[in-house]
Amino acid sequence: MIDELTRAESAVATCADASAWAHSEHDLIAVLDATHRLQQRLAAVQLAVVRELDGRGTAVAQGASSTAVWLRHRLRLDVSAARRLVGLAASVDVAPPAVRAALASGAVSVEQARAIADTAATVSASAGAEVADKAVGVLVEWAEQLDPTLLRRMGSRILDHVAPDLADAAAAAALAAEAARAARDRHVTISTQTDGRLRLTGTLDAESAALLRAAIDPLSTPAGPDDTRCAGQRRHDALADVCRLALRTGELPESGGDPAQVVVTTSYDALAGQVGAGALDLGLHLTPDTVRRLACDAAVLPAVLGGAGQVLDVGRQRRLITGPLRRALVLRDGGCAFPGCDRPPRWCATRHIRHWADGGPTSLDNAVLLCGHHHRHLHQTEWVVRLGGDSRPEFVPPAWLDPGQLPRRNHYHRRT
């Protein structure tokens, strides 16, 4: 397989070096069709490999919390794209053989294959495998003319063509399948943009969508005739208001041992002089005006930083890694310190590098911030954590994973 893919890669490289302008319009259209067909066939191979690696537990064995997280780090994908890849692999894996064959031949795209597979599963549950096979045959033929959206729409009425007497039962099954898909596909993705803002995307199920609309609609109406905000800006501000209201209740669960709260870090001189910016514990930066406004209604905890940004003092000592000491770890590590993990501080717990039971002190130099998965992973595997020369955590992999055992670091949370 590797040899064949190497030869295919060489052929693609030759095509990439060719000049498109030298070809006729007819030839360019033929090339477009051929590249699309080849892309789908390669996708079939990739999905089969992803499914096999997922089944073997390769990602967890190498220290990742899931196959999607491992793919994101391995292939340098956006996390939503990595999750989608794992979901597609699972969907195609359980699809009827005819669907996998159509994808492997390039006759259908990955999204078309998923639409056909979902319809086949619904029909099979309500009318049996024989009718489902007929449905697949019809949908594969329609795939030559319909995009995935139209193909899924036609699939919802497939029994009208292959078994009209079971259409009502299929409609009920389709509704149940749609509810299952909504539960499976629900997600919210929060990604950091290059300018420090957050991009919020996701898909809500029907109930959550109703809750969100009920909460933000009253807060997103125009404030008056002088309100110049567009609808999107009003919804943004309404969502922020809902979060403020939730934080003020004091009823949210604790986060890493601290109450749910917004933590802003700035220098004393900047705050006193009202000219300095601040940083959130997520690594995002705030303007001086925002820092001053938040400081008007906040508790201020002093922290002394060294010239390289190391935390030297965070007030009084405590026996447990909580309070000021935990906030020092958040300042230093920025989130889970394990290589390749993007879990934010609020999802993390603290652990002693040298265990407390073995005489390890409770201090910044003997602590590290880890998510639950990687906390367990360090206990169960041969990974070793230590502080490097710059007092930041680094992780030495086991020899079976890296014979050279070169130390690795997390680069997702670096702020400089």
| Cα–Cα distance measured from residue 95 to residue 162, given in angstroms and rounded to the nearest whole number | 19
Q: What is the pLDDT of residue 259?
A: 59
Please give the structure tokens belonging to residue 252: 């949210």
- pTM strictly above 0.85: no
- 78-111 pLDDT tens trace: 888 899 899 888 888 877 888 888 888 888 888 8
- Find out whether 213 and 191 touch, Cβ atoms under 8 Å: no
Domains held by the chain: number: 2
- What pLDDT shows up at residue 261? 60
Same domain, 148 and 200: no
> Mean pLDDT of all residues in the chain?
79
Between CA 332 and CA 386 the distance in angstroms is: 14
Report d(CA 351, CA 336) in Å as an integer.
Answer: 11
* Per-residue pLDDT at 216: 87
Residue 380 contacts residue 398 (beta carbons within 8 Å): no
- Rounded average pLDDT over 10-32: 87
Q: What is the pLDDT of residue 70?
A: 92
- What backbone phi and psi angles, to 5 degrees, belong to 350? -105, 150
Secondary structure of residue 11 in the 3-state scheme = helix
**Torsional sign, CA 108, 112, 113, 119:** negative
> Which of 249, 276, 294 is the last residue before a domain boundary?
249
- The answer on 208 and 100 residing in a single domain is no
Phi, psi of 203 (to 5 degrees): -135, 125
Q: How confident is the model at residue 385 (pLDDT cuts 50, 70, 90)?
A: very high
Question: 42 with 172, same domain?
Answer: yes
**Residue 291: is its pLDDT beyond 80?**
no
* 276 occurs within a structural domain: no
Q: Which two tokens stand for residue 14?
A: 């030759």
Q: Which of 146-155, 225-234, 393-402 has the highest mean pLDDT?
A: 393-402
Q: pLDDT-derived band of residue 396, with 50, 70 and 90 as boundaries?
A: very high
Last residue of a domain, one of 207, 231, 249: 249
In sequence order, which ranges of 57-78 are alpha helices (DSSP H)? 58-61, 67-75
Range of the domain at 191: 187-249
**Are 121 and 244 members of one domain?**
no
Same domain, 106 and 219: no
Same domain, 29 and 176: yes
Sequence-ordered strand ranges (E) for 176-309 = 187-192, 198-203, 264-265, 278-280, 285-286, 304-305
Mean pLDDT value across residues 178-196: 79
Cα–Cα distance, 131 to 169 (Å, whole number): 13
Domain boundary among 185, 201, 233: 185
Tell me the per-residue pLDDT of 108-159, one tens digit each, with 9 for 90 and over: 888 888 888 888 887 777 677 887 888 888 888 888 888 888 888 787 777 6
Instruction: State which amino acid sits at residue 164.
Output: P
